[in-house]
Structure 1
Amino acid sequence: MALLIMIFRKMMQNKWLVCSLFLGISISVALVSSMPIYSQAVLTRMLVKDLERLQGDTGQYPGALYGHMFYSDEKPEQIRSKFQRMDDYIRGEGAAGFGLPVLELNNELYALSLKMKRADDPNPLSESNMQRVTIKSYQNLEKHVELKDGRLPSPLPVDGVYEVMVTERALNHFKTVLNTEFSLEDEKLDRPVKLKVVGVFRKAAENDVYFRYGNLSDMSNSFMLPYESAKELLLEQQSLPIGGTGWHLVMDYSKMELDSIARFQSSFNAIKLELNKKVYLYQMGLESRALSTLSQYTERAEQLQTLMWALNIPLLIMLAFYMFMVANLITERQKTEIAVLRSRGAARWQIIASYFVEGVLLCGMAFAAGPFLGSVLTNVLGASSGFLEFVQRVRLPVRITEEAWEYAAITAGACLLIMMIPVIAATRISIVGHKQQLARLLKTPLWHKLFLDGIALGLSLYGLYNFRKRQADLQALGLGADDLSIDPLQFVIPALFIMGGGLLLLRLYPWLLRLVYWIGRKWWPPSLYATLIQVGRSSSQYQFLMIFLVMTIATGVFSASAARTINENTEDRISYAAGADIILDVSWVNDAPPPMMPGSAPPSVKPVTSTGKVNYLEPPFEPFRKLPGVESAAKVFVQPKADFFAGNESGSAVLMGIDTDEFGKTAWFRDGLLDHHFYDYLNLLAADTKGVLISRSLAEQKGLKAGDAIWVGWAEVTQQPFTVYGIIDYFPTFNPNPPTAGGGSSAPMLIVGHLSRIQLQLAIEPYKVWLKLEDGASVQELYDGIAESGQAVIKVANTRDSLVRAKNDPFLLALNGVLTLGFVLSIIVSFIGFLLYWVLSLKGRMLQNGILRAIGLSLKSLIGMLAAEQLLTSGVAVAIGIGVGHTASRLFVPSFQIAFNPSSLVPPFIVQFQAGDMLRIYTLTGFMLVAGLAILGFMLSRLRIHQALKLGED
């Protein structure tokens, strides 16, 4: 108890330092524990969204599971036994194993395909009056349908006749009407079975998850028996030959989380194994639409977790520096006390134990609060859409997992070790050694003695060399890489460079300071002279603070550049590949013969036109310009397999036909991709309708140059002459890179000409409509306008949707969120550490400042000395951080292009610096310095000379 009281008293004596240390520990624990929380939350949301998208694309519910068993040569009792055992298993252990709410669980029974004829047909069954039908039954079907005509069938036979209902398509298929009786007369039957169609049904709700197929296609050639009748005929009496049984299990996939994936897969495999036990492998089946989507997420979760560790490593290193700095400050203030205790006979382990208990208390509280703070940080991560940019999004499904507590415990233990390092070092020094250290202000820091700057720089440059070599190999061999498969070392290596570069410059800084002192030693005013001496003789005291600031600012600059570069290049790739905001495919009236029905014989006379090609009628274009929200519209004709002939060379290229003025106003194109502005090439082309632009790949492969003639056409279209007016490297939608894994495939080639001349001299064929939308225009209003215009639009490609989908990618969310959160936290911690250091430094020099005031130095001069000292330490550290951060960005951010598929890396990857990002960084750091100086100036203004001198006497 006495030890605890002593520890609490000691903590209260240094309450501000202890609170600062606790803050650093809490942030570290929260940050690390947020990694699994964020991974779980963002992938859970993306999983649900992917499953929703899958449902929209296929029209089938992803949370559904369908299992079925076929039967052959089994005895009736064996069939009943197998069905009952499997039914009990799926309804019990099988459904419960998924851990998801069950929306529907129904049986399906169906017979083998049987022959039938109308009951009132007196003729025996033959090919002329015979029809084939499948008798099916779905449990609880009547609860999910509505009658379009007739009535629901009776669950029991009426006068020996079983009543059925059908869909409208089935009614047409069997060419019948309601209340018609049919007789099943098949060699598989012991006796005829009579059926009567009494009702026509349709789905009661369009999006009812009960139905396995959204369009009832599995019922279009079937009679639907009530489940009670089907069970009697197929399972009990077995009057009809049973074909199989099925189970349709529908679960609420919106409640699925990341850790549900393994459970879903294991339950699926368990049901499949159970089915396989009941029947042979070829007699069973189990399917789930969600499996293909779910199988990707285990690997994605591991990749995202690795990425988050890599992103957070620079911040964790900075936090480790912060905690070590604060722990060292606490220890420095108590070194005299420690030395006295050692001289009075206290054992080292006793002193270490007291600090260990203090550390356990702080780390224990941080461990208890860390995961909850981590969940708060996760919500911040989910709201980030770019570096230091936040948007209103639906909150992530945050849940504190067991893994988060494990991470928190490990981090708290690591923080405890960092706290104990300066304590263990301090207990090795006696009272005499402590006094000797106080007298030696000039001492070489440990990292300089160990040459950590050179080691860190060497490792980072070696990593940079490996990245560039790997990138060159990928491009040379035409190999592919998964988009956004970022190597964790891409963030670790720059952190080493930042640390090494900062340490190296700080090693050189004292020499620069001496040079400045020597140059102006005859002219410096007393205040600046004293400041230069103070900083020069005590440079080791400022090392921790300066390293801290260097890493913070440099990491912020690098983070801003990395996030901005990846975001901008991702958006550029999508916009370039699309070409415009909206791309429309429009149906054109033509004289092409209708497509043949499957199984039909080809026509005896082949329809041809005089030219042997299809003729098209161009639809009106003006309505597209008048659609709501449209700023400009352009016609873009693309013939992917155009033939060309130039000199002695020929080949195949992509032919693009445009109207230069409309195209320039509508298309998206990044500046700097061509030797001249994009508009200059369009203006050059506009001068002559015979002119064309060709890609550099075509010019180099075929030896063409400006002024050469080139003949262009395509299948069924006679080639016509054009003149090369310019050579371009890039053009909207054109990818000049050879396909990946092509094994020496030649690069694609492009020819751009006037649409008017192509239509006049070659052929009029369908073109795409490109639309550029006004800022803030509603896409929904555009869709409504298209529907009202009556234009036969058959396909719409929305680039904005693709951009939104890219921004919601969990890897980009993590990248933007972690970099933003890391920088904000580092600025907060830096401000606290910066202010804490200078407040303690000022208090430690109270006697010195009091003497300076007593001998006549004005308060203004004293504040000037403090400002100069801050400028020579904190200001220089900020400048070094900015310089190192920019250098790291220039060197290492280009290596991020290795994360993208080389064939899709169009336009080329460039490092992006945005003035707004830099302004935010400079504003935050400037505020930190100015606010710190203001607080220190206020403290100096409150200094009383007699108190300082009295303190010196004490």
Structure 2
Amino acid sequence: MAIITMIFRKMAKNRWLQLNLWLGLTICVALFSSMPLYSHAILQRTLFKELQQLQKDQNVYPGLLRATTSVSGGRSFETTHSLIQKAERYMEDAPRRLGLDSQAFIVSRSTQSFRVLPADASDQEKREMTVSGSFRTVSDLEKRVKIIDGRLPDPKRSDGVYEALVTQKFIIDLKRDLGKELLYTNKDTGDTIRIIPVGIVESKQTTAYDQYNVDSSNSAFFIPFEQFNHDFVDQQGPLKLSVLAWQYSLDYEQMNIDHIETYLAQFKAMTTYFNTRIGIGNVEMPAKNPIATYTEKKDKLNLMLWSLYSPVMFMLAFYLYMAANLIIDRQKTEISVLRSRGASRMQIMSVFLIESVMLGVLALAAGPFIGVYFTKLLGASSGFLEFVQRASLDVALNSLAYRIAAAAVAGSIVLILIPAFLATKVTIVGHKQRMARMTKLSFWHKIGADFILMGISIYMLYRFNNQLTDLKKLALDPTSIQVDPLMFFMPAVFSLGAGLFILRIYPWFIKLVFWIGRKWWTPALYSTLLQISRSSSQYLTIKVFLIMTIATGLFSANAARTINGNMEDRIQYTTGSDIQLSVHWDNDKPPPPPPGAPQAAAPEGDTAAAAPKVVTYTEPSFITMTGLEGVDSAARVFRKDDASFAAGGQNGAATLYGIDTYDFGKVAWMRGGLLQYPLNSYLNLLASNPKAVLVSRSMAKQFKVKTGDTISAKWEGLDSADFIVYGIVDYWPGWSPLPMSGDESDPNVRLPNLIVGQLPYIQNHLALEPYEVWIKLKDGVGSKVIYDDLIKKEIPIENLVDANQLLIRSKNDPFRLAINGVMTLGFVISMLISFFGFLLFWVLTLSSRTLQFGILRAMGISFRQIIGMLLSEQLLTSAAAILFGVVIGNTVSSLFVPLFQLSFNASDQVPPFSIVRQLSDYVQLYSVVGFMLAIGLAVLGVRVSRMKITQALKLGEE
């Protein structure tokens, strides 16, 4: 009990130090616990978004589960009936086995097809009419279909006549009106079935999850469900069953990634169950493909999260070690006294262990809940330090989060106990000797940690650059190369090594400055320079900490901006403008032959290949497109990917662009620096002559084409037209200069070629063919406005690419969310712990120098001079460390950010990868650091002003 009392008193005495240590532990626990929470939440959201996108793209309800089976005719009726009953019970239990609520359940059945004839059919109709149909039914028939003429069938009719519903197409094929009797006669038994169509039906517009498609059942007689079961399922009727189907619409919003294995296992079990049990079976579940890729996504996302978190973890570990070291330094005298008076190292360590465990338990109690907040903060991030009003992530604490948090606490306790363990080795005499030798080299400099860390990081950088070179040469998918997670950790290692190296040299610089101006320095500055030069190891921790904070913050900012910027640039460049759409053109092109149909033969005696038919197109009104709601500008852009050209006696293939130069300049997107001159300069050049064209650099090199040369171009079935080369370009909106495979610098690799000319000249001298319409939207106008107007004006769209929608989809990608969220969180945490670490160090340093300041005040140095001394000390330590951090951060960004190209497909990386730096990030970083220095200096000034000289002098008499 006495030791517990002593521990509480010691913790109360150092409450501010313990509070800082607890804060670091709590943030550490929060950060570690947020990893599994974020991984789970973002994968859950991704699954939900993918299922929503599936419904949007394919018009299929994501919660659909459909089991269909034919009915084999090789069994007895009793056996088949028993199998059907078992299948009914099996499917009724499907939602429970999957753990999802059923929103709708549809059972449909049909018999074999049979030939029907009108009861009043003429002899000619009996010979020529070949209309076949089958009895079909669906549960809750009256709710699933819409009657457009007639009435519902009467299931209680007792004269042996089946009243049925038919589709409009089927009644036309039967050439009879509603109410006319139809007959089917079994040739083997002579039995006759009488049918009377009493209503015409079509698909009913119901909810997205409760729909039955009637249009696919054109040749069917729909009868009530109970009647069908009574006559064809429960009894051996005159017709055999053909197809059975059970269709569920399950609530896909309840799908949880924790039950992915259950969904896949149940799908496999259903497929196995219906495989040849009743007949040939098939099970459909549209959600299967998205959920099947979950495991791979989970592994990749977890790897990326650990990699992205690693620099922040490194910073937290450094903070905890620094805080623990400062606390132990404050207690070293007490520890050495205890050791000198006979206390064992184990007894002293037990005291610090109990303290650390108490702080760890408190951190474990609060940390996971802060981790939930961190996770929601990550989910709201749409870019680096950018937040949107996105639906919050569904976050719930789980056992895995607590297990990881407990492991983090255990590791942190070990980290905290290291300085205590080292301190217990020193006696009171050794402690006083060490205090007198503050100028000796630090342990890290003695072992050459700076050279080791820089060597490791430079070697890894060399390795990654070789991987990157191979990736570009072979145009490989980056997934084909195993990206080492150390790629994300190496910047922190390099920053630490570079920081230690600079701080190895910096004390010598301070000594040089002191020696040069030793005759002119004021007493305050003289004392400051002497203090820093003689106690360099005292300031090492805070300077390394600040360097790491600034360098890591800048790297995070530049890495996130670069990844986001290059993703967005690729989408914008590939699309070319805000919206790219193709409208249907009326033409005289013959319809394609059905699958399996023989190809039309060439006329006899025609030995030459038949020339392809030149299709004539009718151009739709372009003015209609410019007048769409929300359109700022629109341009006609003709692209022919399979054009050919002749230049300098050589022939080649090229992509031919035809544009209206003025309109194109208003809608096209082009990143600065890709062309030698601005895009509009090339457009002005092109507009000066109808025959003028721009050609790609690849074409100029391979075919020795230069400005002023004449070339000809055409495509299949046309005569060529002549053009004059007016300029050479490396890039063009929507066109990729990269080869499909191989290294573009290899002379044997065939590069794509480009020709850009004026659209009117191409249409007049070659042919009028469909072009695309590129649209630039008005500022602040969303895509929905133009979509609604296209529907309203009934414009037939064949293809539409919306850059804004692609950007939104890219921002919702789980890996991009992880990068933006974690780097934003890392930046915020780095700044936060840097602020507390800064205050902690300087407050403790000031407290330890109370005697020094008291003596200076007693010697007549004014309070203003002491503040000036503190200010100059801050400039030469903290401000210098910040400056070093900026230099190292920019260096790290230049060296390591390009490695993020390994996350992109080399064949898609157009425009080329470039490092993006944004001024606002630097402003935010410098603002936080400036605020931190100002607050720190203010706190130090207040503490110095409250210092009592007499107490300091009495302290010196001890």
Equivalent residues of 2:654, 2:754 under 8 A apart: yes
Give the corresponding residue for 1:682: 683
In structure 1, what residue type is equivalent to 2:228?
A: A
CA deviation map 1:465-509 (0-9, x unaligned): 112111211222232235999753321121211111111111211
The answer to whether the aligner puts 1:231 opposite 2:232 as a matched pair is no
Structure-1 separation of matches of 2:891 and 2:290:
41
The answer to whether the aligner puts 1:133 opposite 2:133 as a matched pair is yes
Structure-2 separation of matches of 1:374 and 1:171:
66
Give the corresponding residue for 1:97: 97
1:314 Cα offset (Å):
0.5
CA deviation map 1:167-189 (0-9, x unaligned): 44444454443333333334587
The answer to whether the aligner puts 1:395 opposite 2:395 as a matched pair is no
Aligned residue for 1:497, secondary structure, equals helix
The answer to whether the aligner puts 1:533 opposite 2:530 as a matched pair is yes
- Bigger shift: residues 881-890 or 249-258: 249-258
Change over 3 Å in CA distance of 1:431–1:43 after alignment to 2:
same
CA deviation map 1:672-697 (0-9, x unaligned): 11222222222222221111111111
The answer to whether the aligner puts 1:584 opposite 2:588 as a matched pair is no
The answer to whether the aligner puts 1:644 opposite 2:639 as a matched pair is no
Structure-2 separation of matches of 1:484 and 1:398:
33
Trace 1:747-826 onto structure 2 (pairs within 5 A). 747-788=751-792, 791-826=795-830
Structure-2 separation of matches of 1:818 and 1:482:
22
Give the corresponding residue for 1:717: 718
Give the corresponding residue for 2:218: 220
Equivalent residues of 1:34, 1:371 under 8 A apart: yes
Structure-2 separation of matches of 1:426 and 1:187:
104
Structure-1 separation of matches of 2:900 and 2:612:
53
Aligned residue for 2:183, secondary structure, equals strand
Give the corresponding residue for 2:329: 332
Equivalent residues of 1:739, 1:745 under 8 A apart: no
Structure-2 separation of matches of 1:119 and 1:295:
54
1:70 Cα offset (Å):
2.8
Equivalent residues of 2:693, 2:756 under 8 A apart: yes
CA deviation map 1:288-315 (0-9, x unaligned): 1111121222211111111111111001
From 445, 453, 467, the counterpart of 2:464: 467
Change over 3 Å in CA distance of 1:127–1:917 after alignment to 2:
farther
Change over 3 Å in CA distance of 1:167–1:951 after alignment to 2:
farther
Change over 3 Å in CA distance of 1:462–1:148 after alignment to 2:
same
Give the corresponding residue for 1:62: 62
From 476, 484, 489, the counterpart of 2:486: 489
1:522 Cα offset (Å):
1.6
In structure 1, what residue type is equivalent to 2:880?
A: V
Equivalent residues of 1:112, 1:243 under 8 A apart: yes
Equivalent residues of 1:111, 1:241 under 8 A apart: yes
1:912 Cα offset (Å):
1.0
- Bigger shift: residues 105-114 or 294-303: 105-114
In structure 2, what residue type is equivalent to 1:140?
A: D
In structure 2, what residue type is equivalent to 1:153?
A: P
From 349, 352, 355, the counterpart of 2:352: 355
CA deviation map 1:681-715 (0-9, x unaligned): 22222221111111111112222111211011112
* Overall identity of the aligned pairs, in %: 44
From 852, 855, 880, the counterpart of 1:876: 880
Give the corresponding residue for 1:42: 42
Change over 3 Å in CA distance of 1:773–1:234 after alignment to 2:
same
Give the corresponding residue for 1:726: 727
Change over 3 Å in CA distance of 1:141–1:401 after alignment to 2:
farther
In structure 1, what residue type is equivalent to 2:688?
A: A
1:800 Cα offset (Å):
0.8
Equivalent residues of 2:204, 2:211 under 8 A apart: no
In structure 2, what residue type is equivalent to 1:677?
A: P
The answer to whether the aligner puts 1:478 opposite 2:475 as a matched pair is yes
From 906, 928, 932, the counterpart of 1:928: 932
Give the corresponding residue for 1:114: 114
Aligned residue for 1:638, secondary structure, equals strand
Equivalent residues of 2:578, 2:777 under 8 A apart: yes
Change over 3 Å in CA distance of 1:842–1:174 after alignment to 2:
farther
Trace 1:504-515 onto structure 2 (pairs within 5 A). 504-515=501-512
Change over 3 Å in CA distance of 1:226–1:785 after alignment to 2:
closer
Structure-2 separation of matches of 1:624 and 1:912:
36
Q: TM-score, normalised by structure 2?
A: 0.94
CA deviation map 1:620-670 (0-9, x unaligned): 333433333322221111111112111210121111011222211210011
Equivalent residues of 1:637, 1:766 under 8 A apart: yes
Structure-2 separation of matches of 1:550 and 1:571:
31
Give the corresponding residue for 2:270: 271
Structure-2 separation of matches of 1:738 and 1:598:
34
Equivalent residues of 1:738, 1:745 under 8 A apart: yes
Change over 3 Å in CA distance of 1:507–1:187 after alignment to 2:
farther
CA RMSD after TM alignment:
2.6
CA deviation map 1:527-561 (0-9, x unaligned): 11101111111111111111111111000111111
1:348 Cα offset (Å):
2.1
Give the corresponding residue for 2:607: none
Trace 1:577-616 onto structure 2 (pairs within 5 A). 577-593=574-590, 613-616=614-617
Structure-1 separation of matches of 2:823 and 2:894:
18
In structure 1, what residue type is equivalent to 2:211?
A: F
CA deviation map 1:818-869 (0-9, x unaligned): 1111101110110011001111111111111111111110111100111111
- Bigger shift: residues 177-186 or 803-812: 177-186
Equivalent residues of 1:155, 1:227 under 8 A apart: no
In structure 2, what residue type is equivalent to 1:325?
A: M
Unaligned segments of structure 2, at least 5 residues: 604-609
Give the corresponding residue for 2:147: 147
Give the corresponding residue for 1:409: 406
Give the corresponding residue for 1:856: 860
Aligned residue for 2:245, secondary structure, equals strand
Give the corresponding residue for 2:246: 247
Give the corresponding residue for 1:522: 519
Give the corresponding residue for 2:558: 561
Give the corresponding residue for 1:161: 161
1:79 Cα offset (Å):
1.2
1:726 Cα offset (Å):
1.2
In structure 2, what residue type is equivalent to 1:231?
A: N
Give the corresponding residue for 1:700: 701
Aligned residue for 2:66, secondary structure, equals strand
Structure-1 separation of matches of 2:667 and 2:37:
43
Structure-2 separation of matches of 1:538 and 1:189:
112
Aligned residue for 1:521, secondary structure, equals coil
1:203 Cα offset (Å):
4.1
Equivalent residues of 1:484, 1:811 under 8 A apart: no
From 892, 900, 904, the counterpart of 1:900: 904
Aligned residue for 2:283, secondary structure, equals strand
1:123 Cα offset (Å):
6.2
Aligned residue for 1:704, secondary structure, equals coil
Equivalent residues of 1:234, 1:241 under 8 A apart: yes
Equivalent residues of 1:29, 1:367 under 8 A apart: yes
Give the corresponding residue for 2:606: none
CA deviation map 1:350-401 (0-9, x unaligned): 2222221221221122223222211111111111121111111111122223
- Bigger shift: residues 714-723 or 438-447: 438-447
CA deviation map 1:184-230 (0-9, x unaligned): 33458783333332333344434442336xx4343222222322122
1:876 Cα offset (Å):
1.1
Unaligned segments of structure 1, at least 5 residues: none
Equivalent residues of 1:235, 1:242 under 8 A apart: yes
Structure-2 separation of matches of 1:325 and 1:27:
15
From 544, 549, 553, the counterpart of 1:547: 544
From 807, 825, 830, the counterpart of 2:834: 830
1:84 Cα offset (Å):
2.0
Equivalent residues of 1:79, 1:235 under 8 A apart: no
The answer to whether the aligner puts 1:451 opposite 2:448 as a matched pair is yes
Equivalent residues of 2:118, 2:174 under 8 A apart: no
In structure 1, what residue type is equivalent to 2:433?
A: Q
Equivalent residues of 1:153, 1:164 under 8 A apart: yes
Change over 3 Å in CA distance of 1:772–1:848 after alignment to 2:
same
